Chain A
Amino acid sequence: MANKNPKHEFVTVCFQNFDRISQKLILSRFNKPQYSIELMEEPEESDLCFYNQEKAQDQDEIALLRQRLKTKDIPMILLTDEHSYSNDKLFYVITKPIEDKRLSDYLYQVKDTFYSAMASKLTRKAAQKPRKIIYNNHLSNAINSSQIQFEGKRFYAQKYVGLNPDIDFDTEVQVKKIQMNPQNYFFHYLKKGYVLSKANNRITCVKTVYGTFYIDASDKVILHHKTAEEIFNIHKIPFYKDTKVFIPKLKRRDRNALNGLNQFDYEPFVWLSSINASKGKIPKDINFNVPIKLLAWPDLTKLVVFKNAIRIIALWSRGVYSLKHTGNLLNIPQRYAMTVYTALDALGLIEEVKRR
């Protein structure tokens, strides 16, 4: 009888020499629900590595990478136009199609090869590694941060932090890739509305193309006529440039109407809105070089807590560290720190340390 609940596997994959679209196209094909895939920057830290050969001259780099991965028993899938390669136990060659009509077959081949190579890799891994007995995953990971990749529930963090690769902060072109204009996103106006409400001790109104939201800073709530499920997707859409934030003149009739609206906790609402907008990017006015100081922790039990978020918040509450160095310090991809920063900034829980 078939097992109805196959074991869930958390696997890591590295894409080398890929453009964003090709990478996404391939990832979209990996739809087996029992696999949660996380992307790694370093080939040696992954369970499987893809390499996209664009030029014939890449062959030396491929040979070198193949050798490095072989010593660590990591399979490599090469996507290439060349016909000089041959498969072995850890090296799988797939020829890229010349005609568009062969694209679907090619993607099926990539998918089948991936699952087959990954299954073998996981079998070998299970046989090699004596499994550590863990009674409590999250607490064990909190003590041993290097094993965090085995984390279960929070593993699929790219849903929240996106797929942006690490950048060189000294290169302007690369910095631009991780910047966004906050004025295009909902969270920016929520923050503005909250600040206005707090300063005037009045309910503020945020009028967007998706409807009107009311913010009450004294009760820390947001009011809206639709439910959380109905507005789930509005946070990531960059169509908020014409949003108006103001203090409405509310008559008694309006106040009664407000009581009938859906009420959302301000902190979790803005946290979710900003991480959905950020996905590994930061508002363009953020200075990533300056030291930063956490003013208060958010109420984590009410938030979507994704992988590494607690470690990042913990680091920033301990001392003077800049956004630029956070990824390096914790040995995690920069996109995690960018996302957490954007959310904490939207909540007004973080600030730059002023130089004396």
Chain B
Amino acid sequence: MICGALPVDEDNRIDFFGGDDEALFEFIDERPDSAFKGLIITLDADDSKALSHVKGRLVKQQSYLHNYALVVGVYGSEYSSIKQAEEQVRTYLTKLNAVAPVLSINPNDKEDVNLLVESLLCFASPGIRDNYYGKPSFDLGDDSK
């Protein structure tokens, strides 16, 4: 299930777990207390079945969308088909009342993949100041910086 580990700094490492079946989600569910941050879904825009597969996956795993961060990386050989697939995924997410980064990527480009993972980490935790965690804007009063 583990498909790689990326050392980030001397205190942190990102472990990646992969799969395209239910076993992956069972694996996640078995570890509710782990530092699990979110899901990365990759989509091949050249594969006509992949889009409906992702749609089905998003619907099926809807609860994960609200509990964990999600990013979708779309790749393919034709730029126009990548953009179309990207638009489709955005639409699916809107229908599910979810918002998540959907990025066109070149899987061989380190910077693209880096940005995908960075978006996931920021989405999981954008770094809200400690004393404001869990408060909506309206409970903040007029605290000055």
Binding site for B on A (CB under 8 A): 41-42, 132-136, 138-140, 142-146, 148, 166, 170, 219-220, 291, 294-297, 299-302, 305, 310-315, 317-322, 324-325, 327-331
Which residues of B lie under 8 Å from residue A331 when comparing CB positions? 127, 129, 145
Indicate whether A219 sits within 8 Å of B127 (C-beta atoms), given known contacts A139-B8, A299-B86.
no
A297's partner among B12, B80, B100, B136 (CB-CB below 8 A) is B100
Query: In the bound complex, what is the Cα–Cα distance between A318 and B111 (angstroms)?
Result: 25
Range, interface on chain B: 35 or more
A317's partner among B100, B136, B145 (CB-CB below 8 A) is B100
Asked if A291 and B136 make an inter-chain contact with CB atoms under 8 angstroms apart, the answer reads yes
Asked if A328 and B99 make an inter-chain contact with CB atoms under 8 angstroms apart, the answer reads no
Query: In the bound complex, what is the Cα–Cα distance between A297 and B6 (angstroms)?
Result: 25
Give the top 8 A-B pairs by smallest Cβ distance, nearest first: A145-B127, A142-B121, A314-B126, A314-B122, A297-B101, A140-B9, A133-B10, A317-B99
Residue interface bits B130-145, CB-to-A below 8 A is 1, else 0 = 0010001110101101
Can you show 13 pairs from A to B with CB atoms below 8 A apart?
A132-B9, A134-B9, A134-B10, A139-B118, A140-B12, A143-B125, A219-B80, A296-B90, A296-B94, A297-B101, A302-B104, A315-B128, A330-B128
Asked if A295 and B103 make an inter-chain contact with CB atoms under 8 angstroms apart, the answer reads no
B4 at interface, CB cutoff 8 A: no
Which residues of A lie under 8 Å from residue B80 when comparing CB positions? 219
Asked if B101 and A328 make an inter-chain contact with CB atoms under 8 angstroms apart, the answer reads no
Asked if B142 and A295 make an inter-chain contact with CB atoms under 8 angstroms apart, the answer reads no
Which residues of A lie under 8 Å from residue B86 when comparing CB positions? 299
Query: In the bound complex, what is the Cα–Cα distance between A121 and B118 (angstroms)?
Result: 32
Query: In the bound complex, what is the Cα–Cα distance between A330 and B101 (angstroms)?
Result: 19
B118 to chain A, nearest CB (A): 5
A300's partner among B103, B126, B128, B145 (CB-CB below 8 A) is B103
Asked if A291 and B137 make an inter-chain contact with CB atoms under 8 angstroms apart, the answer reads yes
A198 to chain B, nearest CB (A): 12
Residue interface bits B84-97, CB-to-A below 8 A is 1, else 0 = 00100010011000
Query: In the bound complex, what is the Cα–Cα distance between A144 and B11 (angstroms)?
Result: 10
B115's partner among A132, A145, A305, A314 (CB-CB below 8 A) is A305
Counting chain A CB atoms within 10 Å of each CB, the highest count among B123, B127, B136 belongs to B127
